[in-house]
Structure 1
Amino acid sequence: MEPTSLPPVVDVETWQRQLDDLRVREKAATRELDAIAAQRRRMPMVEMPDYTLEGAEGPVRLADVFDGASQLIVYNHMWFPGEKWQCPGCTGFTSQFTRLGFLEGYDARFVIVTQGPIGEALAYKERVGNKMTWYSTANSTFGSDVGAPPGGGFAVNVFLRDGDTVYRTWHTTGRGTEQLSHSFALIDLLPYGRQEEWQDSPKGWPQSPTYSRWVGSEDIAARYGPGAS
């Protein structure tokens, strides 16, 4: 599809000046993100009950989901009972994480917890080619207690383990999850950006309804699932 408009063409010196001006704001944003991370490291924490989840091998205590690590990131995946294709946003977001071994060097693990029954959840994981480790909170209140109840939305939660005691240290949802994703970071580098109607873009830039360019769960399965080439 041909673009409806193009950025202005300028000489190299003009381009460099504008890049330098933008870099000032980019550097300020980087320093602010560093300050936010520093504040996050100073957050207090809340002790969690001794939940039991369901994993591929059966019941597992929340403390054992850490698999020996002291830190745990949980993505609470939305789940719609009886549906073949689950939330495309959750499916697309978690499809990005295929190599998580580097977290071992930071004494951490990153897993998915969903409200779906474990058998259905594992079948869906296989169908869409997801590479993460999945657990189910269908038989516990864990999801409800961390902002992801049955029929509710998605969430990211972070936990710290001290022996058999688990503490909740951080939570976000909505666009707060974007910092964990490389997809939007790449798309936001592009001249036309996300091409969604809510974005502040120059006149004539391609724009579509929000979410209309997102890849669907069925498309993800075709690209990454068992039948993918």
Structure 2
Amino acid sequence: MPSADPSTQPLKSAEELAQSRRRFPGESPQYRAARNALLKEEIELRRHIERVAAQRRALPPGGEIPEDYRFESESGPATLSQMFGEHDTLVTYNWMFGPKRQRSCPMCTSFLSALDGEMADILQRVAFAVIARSPVERLTAFKRERGWRHLRLYSSGGNTFNRDYADEDPDSGDNAGFNVFVRSNGIVRHFWGDEMGPETADPGQDPRGAPDAMPLWTVLDMTPGGRGTDWYPKLEYGAQSKTGT
């Protein structure tokens, strides 16, 4: 007989699952009680993340793109529909490296460096495009400088994509953010866009999505010091970092 669909099976309570049998050397009963209480919340968080992901997947069809935007890629002109390649889903990331910036946003650079390492795997499932308004030659020069191998870069300097899908005013600067597009029967529609910006941030926190896509923050959130408030990612460290950029 076929096995039952796991999604229809009743879930054990998080409190029941959180009674961990693991013990670390030297831990106290107080530590174990607090750790199991935290484990319960971690299980609830995992479940909430899955509920949000399921709700996202169930969104009704988004708006059809107003035009098939034309970009400049590393290999020549490319339209948004061409970015899909063989896939029916396209993820775009708006990179804060517009023509008015002297250097790339350090936070975007940190994130894109992590994505470059994951990109070969990501591209098995979806297409992925990194978009910025600087000329493509400037984007590819920075790509070579950082040693990125897998990111596919596109210049949106000649279209209104950033204004339409990143809520960006070309005269005031750049906005980072994700968008997801789907293609069906030759029609490209917007599926989902990142809408958690400064106006949704909680007191004392930088704007962030949920879940946070940056591995940097995911790792630091597991530490006693957390993300910290007295530092910011830099483009260079050590002897190379003389300007604090």
Shared fold by TM > 0.5? yes
2:52 counterpart residue number: 36
Unaligned runs of 5+ in 2: 1-25, 197-206
2:158: which partner in 1? 139
In 1, Cα distance between equivalents of 2:210 and 2:42: 20
Confirm or deny that 1:175 pairs with 2:212. Answer: no
- Is 2:125 the partner of 1:92? no
Note closer, same or farther for the CA distance 1:191–1:13 as it changes in structure 2 (3 Å cut). Answer: same
Amino acid at match of 2:63: V
Equivalent position SS for 1:176 = coil
In 2: Cα distance, 1:11 partner to 1:59 partner: 60
Between 22-31 and 73-82, the greater mean CA deviation after superposition: 73-82
- Would you say the 8 A contact 2:182–2:190 is kept in 1? yes
Counterpart amino acid of residue 187 in structure 1: L
Distance 1:191 1:95, change over 3 A: same
The residue that corresponds to 2:136 in the other structure is 118
Quick one: higher RCO (CA 8 Å, sep 6+), 1 or 2?
Answer: 1
RMSD (Å), alpha carbons: 2.2
- Distance in 2 (alpha carbons) for counterparts of 1:178 and 1:126: 30
* Runs of 5+ unmatched residues, structure 1: 1-9, 197-207, 224-229
Deviation at 1:169, TM superposition (A): 0.8
Q: Percent identity?
A: 27
The CA deviation string for residues 36-93 of structure 1, in whole angstroms up to 9 with x for no partner, is: 1011001121111211111011110111111211111111001242544211111111
Matched residues, number: 197
Q: Structure 1 residues 26, 122: closer, same or farther in 2, change over 3 A?
A: same
Provide TM-score, normalisation by structure 1: 0.78
Task: Name the residue aligned to 2:187.
Answer: 165
Structure 1 position 154, deviation (Å): 0.9
Asked whether the 8 Å contact 2:220–2:226 carries over to 1, the reply is: yes
**Retained in 1: the 8 A contact 2:97–2:103?**
no
Misfit runs of 4+, over 4 Å: none
Rounded to whole Å, the distance in 2 between the matches of 1:219 and 1:116 is: 25
State the partner residue of 1:4.
none
What is the distance in 1 between the residues matched to 2:131 and 2:101? 17
Give the TM-score taking structure 2 as reference length. Answer: 0.73
Cα shift readout 1:145-189 (whole Å, capped 9, x = no counterpart): 101533231111111112432111111154017622211111110
Report whether the alignment pairs 1:72 with 2:94.
no
Q: Following TM superposition, by how much is the alpha carbon of 1:215 offset from its aligned partner in structure 2, in angstroms?
A: 2.5
SS at match of 2:118: coil
Equivalents in 2 of 1:14, 1:191: separation in Å? 17
Q: Closer, same or farther in 2 for the Cα pair 1:147/1:77, shift >3 Å?
A: same
